[in-house]
Amino acid sequence: MNILVVGNGFDLEHGLPTKYVDFLEFVKNFRIMHNQTMGILDELDGIKDEYLRHIFWEKESENRVKALYRLLNRNVWINHLEEAYKENLAEKENWVDFENEISEVIRSMDRLAKYYEGRATGESENQSLKEYYQRRLKYIDHFFSIESIKKRIPDLLRDLDRLTEALEIYIWDDIGNREIQYYNPDIEKMNVDKILSFNYSDTYRRLYAFDREDIDYSYIHGKAVDHISSLRIEKDTQEEWDLWMRETADRNNMVLGIDEYLTGDRKNKETDFIGFKKYYQRIYKKNGNEYKKWLDQIDTNIALGKEEENKLYIFGHSLNETDGDVLRELITHPQIETIIYYKDKKQLGQQIANLVKVLGSDQMVEMVYGNHPAITFQEQSKREFIEGSPFEIASDVRRLRVIYRLGDDKAQELLRKIEKKIKEKELDYFHSQEGVIALFDALQNNGLKEYGKELWDMVGNINSHNRDNFIEKQNGEKSIDEQLAGYRKIIDDRAELDEDAYRSAIDHIFDMFREYSDIESLWDVLIGISSRVGDQAAESVLREKMKMPRNALDIIRCKHLLSEIGVNEESV
């Protein structure tokens, strides 16, 4: 079983603005636009947010605007978070942690309540404590009694629901409909069975697994879904909006709250603020425990004697101890090997420090070291643009195979794109013979046969196009030593080559024999490059070249290279 755990760094890696400060920027722009559109639509020209421009311009989105306004207007949490963000910016810190800010408020209110109950001791200390916690609540309220605190709790819970629903609209309706520009090669290569997400978004399914129904998902903090496209408010009364908000709050399963801060019996007895706590919200909203069934399945398979590797991949997660209960249960399972990806040395240091807090230093050291370490840290590959990459056509082909699952707009958009690529013969898009053939098959299976001849004609052009491109990239202004260094990097990085790239590399390196004196180095690179395409593919390409050689030396070198990669010389 292969389990992939993703945190918010996963969405950020794919170029999606899912930080809390991104949402606050969205809120700020919404308020600016709402004020401007009180009769002055022309002033929208200065707003760059495409989603906001759309919902303010389109008549059918009128209720969307009204819903966001009612969710955000006079929302005590939104106001507090905006002020906290301004304070951070004044200190040149461009971030704000929603959960930490909410926790600070709730703990201060709880401490004030205990002050008013007379649980604190010492008159001077009492007064200083009171003033301290009142200052921390300056954007919430000024409380004078325990009754005023308890009376405020339902309002704060209501506004937290409103904040959560506004965040859901942002994630589902805005982020969920943005074009994703990047993919990560590490994620593409993973063959995962299960996804455990600490995000509200559905990015993995959208980009990597929309055509797979065999993957199980667990959304620890809930998942943003559509509560807005079917919104119908006829009379625009407060009663209608209150009813919609109550129904939406019941359907919304997103967890936005704080960790337990009480200890011992207090956490079981003192429940005034339990509605703000994440463990309560998880139980109340019935989400986030599917991963336990996965671990039970691993145990069952072991008991039945099934031999299988169980790997846990963690990507884009800081390993913060606020998620420690879930992470600990997964990482310490005796039959799971964990691979933790990090972006840079700074993140690696943070992850190690956080994991020590989750596991303890002794267990951490035990699991990282040894002949068979249970935890490995691995630097993640750099993200790549989807456009113009092999991933682009592979993704489009997968979408075409299940085009019946797409809505009309997205289906038509995909067909228009493919038609344009074929008509304009954009060879960079098709990338390889395999890409052309896969697209041909997908079109044929959907009954779209009109582009068959054009695609087959393209197969003959793609090899020479790719060969020229590959050699140009490797060659450029570089010396032969630099060009060979490029090939050695491919070998050292264990990068995979397709047949077209291998075919081009062979021609290129064979040409180097004319002017390069270190022949042994050339053969080392040729053998190494052959290992990156696979023995069968290498043999196929080399035999093909022997049948249509450029000269007699091509035959001799291909024959020798076949013997070097283990092909029986008598069969050559």
Give how far Cα 46 sits from Cα of 4, 33, 52, 458, Å: 41, 10, 12, 45
Same domain for 452 and 483? no
Residue 119 lies in a domain: no
- Strands 384-385 and 375-379 come out as unpaired
| Residue 82: CB atoms within 10 Å | 17
Predicted local confidence at residue 125, as pLDDT: 52
Residue 267 has pLDDT above 90, yes or no: no
Give the helix/strand (H/E) hosting 512. helix 499-512
* Phi, psi for residue 315 in degrees, rounded to 5: -135, 125
Percent of the chain with pLDDT over 70: 92
Residue ranges of alpha helices (H) inside 141-269 are 146-169, 185-189, 203-208, 238-251, 266-269
Nearest to 332 by CA among 362, 305, 307, 353: 362
Could you tell me which of 302, 359, 304 has the C-alpha nearest to residue 336? 302
Mean pLDDT of 245-273: 89
pLDDT band at 62 (very low <50, low <70, confident <90, very high): confident
Residues 285, 290, 295, 300, CA torsion sign = positive
**Strand 182-183 relative to strand 384-385: parallel, antiparallel, unpaired?**
antiparallel
* pLDDT at 571 (0 to 100): 46
Same-domain status, 525 and 492: yes
**pLDDT for res 46:** 63
Judge contact between 200 and 167, C-beta under 8 A. yes
Q: State whether 500 and 563 are in the same domain.
A: yes
Query: Per-residue pLDDT tens for 405-456?
Result: 888 888 999 999 999 988 888 877 887 777 888 888 888 888 888 877 777 7
Distances (CA, A) of 508 to 474, 475, 480, 500: 9, 9, 11, 12
121 vs 476, which has greater pLDDT? 476
Q: Would residue 185 count as lying in a domain?
A: no
> pLDDT digits over 305-322, tens only?
888 899 999 999 999 988
Are residues 530 and 448 part of one domain? no
Residues 482 and 449 in one domain: no
Cα 98 to Cα 78: distance, rounded to the nearest angstrom: 10
Decide if 549 is inside a domain. yes
Q: What is the mean pLDDT of residues 148-164?
A: 94
In a domain, 524, yes or no: yes
- 432 plus 496 within the same structural domain: no
Mean pLDDT over 6-16 rounds to 96
Domain with 545 in it: 477-571
The verdict on residue 190 lying in a domain is no
Domain closes at, from 432, 460, 488? 460
Residue 500 lies in a domain: yes
Among residues 180, 209, 187, 182, the alpha carbon closest in space to that of 383 is found at 182
Instruction: Place 557 in a pLDDT band, splitting at 50, 70 and 90.
Output: very high
3-state SS record for 545-572: HHHCCCCHHHHHHHHHHHHHCCCCHHHC
> Could you tell me if 222 and 253 are in contact, meaning their C-beta atoms sit under 8 angstroms apart?
yes
Report the alpha-carbon distance of residue 332 to residue 335 in Å, rounded.
8
Confidence label for 501 from pLDDT (cuts 50, 70 and 90): confident
**The last residue of a domain, from among 429, 460, 491:** 460
Residues near 402 by Cβ (< 8 Å), separated by ≥ 6?
Answer: 210, 211
Residues 471 and 505: their CA atoms lie apart, in Å, by: 7
Rounded distance, CA 347 to CA 349, Å? Answer: 5
How does DSSP assign 9-44, residue by residue? Answer: HHHHHTT---SHHHHHHHHHHHHHHHHHTTT-GGGG
- pLDDT tens-digit readout, 174-203: 999 899 999 999 999 999 999 999 999 999
The whole-number pLDDT of residue 572 equals 41
3-state secondary structure of 311: strand
User: Domain total for the chain?
Assistant: 2
Q: What is the rounded distance in angstroms from the CA atom of residue 14 to the CA atom of residue 16? A: 6
**pLDDT number for residue 92:** 77
What is the structure's pLDDT at 230?
A: 77
Same domain, 551 and 516: yes
Q: Per the domain annotation, does 77 fall within a domain? A: no
Residue 427 shares a structural domain with residue 490 = no
Are 545 and 492 found together in one domain?
yes
**562 and 484 in a common domain:** yes
450 and 484 fall within a common domain = no
Pairing of strands 2-6, 375-379: unpaired
What is the spatial distance between Cα 211 and Cα 215, in angstroms, rounded to a whole number? Answer: 10
Tokens of 220: 């620890």
Which are the contacts of 210, defined by CB distance < 8 A and separation ≥ 6? 398, 399, 402, 405
Contact 204, 288 (CB under 8 A): no
- What does pLDDT average to over the chain? 86
Dihedrals φ, ψ of 213, to 5°?
-105, 0
In the predicted structure, residue 145 carries a pLDDT above the cut 70: yes
Count CB atoms within 10 A of the CB of residue 257: 23
> Is the domain of 532 the same as that of 560?
yes
Q: Compute CA distances 550 → 69, 475, 526, 546, whole Å.
A: 71, 20, 18, 9
Q: Are 358 and 328 in contact (CB under 8 A)?
A: yes
Average pLDDT of the residues in 105-128:
74
**How high is the pLDDT of residue 363?**
92
Long-range contacts of 404-413 (CB under 8 A, 24+ apart): 405/210
Domain final position from 460, 495, 512: 460
Span 453-475, pLDDT tens digits: 777 777 666 655 555 555 555 55
Residue 87 lies in a domain: no
**Side chain identity, residue 513:** F
| 33: number of Cβ within 10 Å | 20
For residue 379, the tally of other CB atoms under 10 A from its CB is 13
